[in-house]
Amino acid sequence: MQPLAGITVVSLEQAVAAPFATRQLADLGARVIKVERPEGDFARGYDERVRGLASYFVWCNRSKESIVLDLKTPEGAEALMRLVARADVLVQNLAPGSAARMGFDYATLKQAHPRLIVCDISGYGSGGPDEARKAYDLLIQSEAGFLSVTGDGPNPAKAGISVGDIAAGMYAYSTILAALIERDQTGHGQRLDISMLESLTEWMSFPLYYAFDGAPAPRRVGAEHATIYPYGPFPAADGEVMLGIQNDREWTIFCAEVLENAPLARDPRFDAVSRRSENRTALREIIAAAFAALTVVEVTAKLDAAGIANAAVNDMARLWHHDQLAARNRWRHVETPVGPVPSLLPPGLDEARMDPVPAIGEHTERILKELGL
């Protein structure tokens, strides 16, 4: 039995944060009814990289049913109200205040639907001076200080993935699960107020505490770790190797067995984590010189033999064909309007519901008939 079988989720969703949260609920067996505008979720138009479909949309929307409703019409609002009456969870990440203006906020719904869980996802949360501000992922990366610690030197860099959306989607997913458990105990639903800013600020806790009481914040150091060294990419004769050394024991082994320079471990510039970080330019030159005549395969072999953590510097093409993912049988195929595409099993699950990605409005007629419309 799938854990959320029998749970119905209605979602007024767009872009990434809410669709990612509800897709994970669908993975566990929930029925997720995606309510789209007549023009569809605008994420459908972000790109055409998956045989004409948008990469974001294929990722976040499998196993859902799509119904198109014009909520500005009485008929569309009536259909949504009937859907909500049958739902366990209502999720929305429309523009701030939009759901409330249409009467689909928790305060309006809770009396008629006391068991309903309403999850509102927004940029800044309810209340406060920023309540009504629109928010997109890059804007939240900037607002939450994320850009102050990414990049290299004076040049900030956004994350290559939508970390603000993903953080909010993960907290929406986990808090909805907790609310369902609580409802089993109390019989009552509740409102969940998920802020993208708060979600990403939680993920920023290390640099926040590192800069505690006015201390200097971590520097931008590209792909290296800001405070631990050597921890990052290092050149070999034919490419790069990513390695990480987190303590003095590993450092001593690395010097003796990988660099073949045991006295270096006692060099006063490098004999503590903080001093290795402070003197990283000099240390990088020493490591690069030791690796210069070795191939990536040879460096990796030495690191593995010494028990030093390391990783390949992969691109997307290599990730699609990663040996470990294949050996653990983590790929499945999901149907889409343009045919099957590979999809990764949700982490932690050996099997999951992985039904098709819907075409826009694919289930409108059937769902309306269920509602007597």
Instruction: At 243, list the tokens.
Output: 């390695």
Three-state DSSP at 326 gives helix
Is residue 56 a contact partner of residue 96, using CB atoms and an 8 Å limit? no
Helix (H) or strand (E) holding 310: strand 309-311
Helix (H) or strand (E) holding 163: helix 163-186
* Positive or negative: CA dihedral 264, 302, 152, 218: negative
For tokens 């872009």, what's the residue? 15
- Beta carbons within 8 Å of 283's beta carbon, 6+ residues apart: 229, 230, 269, 270, 276
Residue in 165, 238, 267, 304 annotated catalytic: 165
Which of 70, 56, 63, 57 is closest to 12 using CA atoms?
70
- Residue type (1 letter), 131: E
- Answer yes or no: 304 catalytic: no
Residues with catalytic roles: 165
